[in-house]
Chains A and B, each alone.
Chain A
Amino acid sequence: MRTPLSALTPADRAQLKRRMRKPVLTFLVLLALLAVNVTLGATLPFAHVWAIELGVVALMAATILLVSMEVIEEPPLIRLFSGLGFFWVCIMVGMTLTDYLGR
């Protein structure tokens, strides 16, 4: 078992910096998007602000899926599986809301 945090070589530091760049950037992007949504939710600056809030949520979900869950780097079959899940959700939400909104 190595003890990297207590005795890092320059090569270790470079590797650590390279490997942690993506998780840290993703973390900062998610916090920034959450800050936008919390600010909008707390201040309610205009009517129909919910549309922007849902757009921000979609961005956050896409960030987690594509970057944190690394779907973008997976083989095609796994990308297809994960995409199909959301496609089914779209069918369910779309058909249900078509009924309720069309009454």
Chain B
Amino acid sequence: MSEGLAKGVGVARAHHFESVAQQREATTLGIWAWLITELLLFSALFLVALILRIQHPEATVAAARHLKFWIGAANTVVLICSSLTMSMAIEFSRMGWQRAMVRAMLATAALGTLFLVLKGYEYYADWDEHMMPFLSSRPFALEETPAARLFVNLYYVATMLHAVHLFTGIALLLGMTWMAAKAGFLARHQNWIEIYGLYWHFIDLVWILAFPILYVVNRGT
């Protein structure tokens, strides 16, 4: 924690913890244990992307050049903005500025939704360009380079898994915002905002890794 909590802001101690400090550390450790499993899941997918690049360089570059680079870049900006609003929400919670915190949380949810809308448009553009090899009804645009199918399928698995995490994150965030707007929330559950913030920053981190590994690095030969 970068700076102390304002007066009247804190955490209600649960009976099975000896102190609030112990409770705060246990919850942070718990979310990190889960984030590590998520990290290993996404890292394995990114590792497969690197292996595909090593095994089938021409096909991977051909497939990657069909991805919507500028939409991916715009989405990265959107998620970096959402990280800023989430960090602001955490700082507002520490200051006890509840209304500003709620607004920052809503802004974060709105930016997450914008990301999903842009992603949906990107998928539509891919569909329009016959870049969905798993659809039997539409011939794949890169049929002459069969290994490109592997990379494109991996792209969909990785980005859809990320989108599911983001969708879940937005739903949780909206639910928590509803609770956080109630009187007395910051006196009893301030650390919920910090714990949730770790999850949101992690979603951002995964996309920060996914964008270059899928879109950027494979553009060059």
A in complex with B: yes
Which A residues lie at the B interface, using CB under 8 A?
A: 1-5, 15-16, 18-20, 22-24, 26-27, 30-31, 34, 37-38, 40-42, 44, 47-50, 53-54, 56-57, 60-61, 64-65, 68-70, 73-75, 77-78, 81-82, 84-86, 88-89, 92-93, 96-97, 100-101
B39: interface (CB < 8 Å) = yes
A-B CB contact pairs (8 Å), 23 listed? A1-B183, A2-B96, A2-B99, A19-B2, A19-B91, A22-B87, A23-B91, A26-B83, A27-B84, A30-B80, A31-B80, A53-B216, A53-B217, A61-B209, A69-B197, A73-B1, A81-B33, A85-B35, A85-B36, A85-B39, A88-B36, A88-B40, A100-B51
Is chain A's binding surface mostly helix, strand, loop or mixed? helix
Which B residues lie at the A interface, using CB under 8 A?
A: 1-3, 25, 28-29, 32-33, 35-36, 39-40, 43-44, 47, 50-51, 54-55, 69, 73, 76-77, 80-81, 83-84, 87-88, 91, 94-100, 183, 197-198, 201-202, 204-205, 208-209, 212-213, 215-217, 219-221
B69 to chain A, nearest CB (A): 7
B31 to chain A, nearest CB (A): 10
Within the complex, which residue of A15, A24, A41, A54 is in contact with B219, where a contact is CB–CB below 8 Å? A41
| Known A27-B81, A34-B73, A69-B198; contact A41-B216, beta-carbon cutoff 8 A | yes
In contact, A37 and B87 (Cβ under 8 angstroms):
no
In contact, B100 and A5 (Cβ under 8 angstroms):
yes
| Known A70-B2, A93-B47; contact A37-B216, beta-carbon cutoff 8 A | yes
Q: Which chain A positions have C-beta within 8 A of B88?
A: 20, 23
Is chain B's binding surface mostly helix, strand, loop or mixed? helix
B192 to chain A, nearest CB (A): 16
B138 to chain A, nearest CB (A): 28
Q: Which chain B positions have C-beta within 8 A of A48?
A: 220
B88 to chain A, nearest CB (A): 6
In contact, A47 and B51 (Cβ under 8 angstroms):
no
| Known A4-B99, A27-B84; contact A89-B216, beta-carbon cutoff 8 A | no
For B96, give the chain A residue with the smallest CB separation: A2
In contact, A34 and B80 (Cβ under 8 angstroms):
yes
**Could you tell me the distance between the alpha carbons of A82 and B80 in the complex, rounded to whole angstroms?**
21
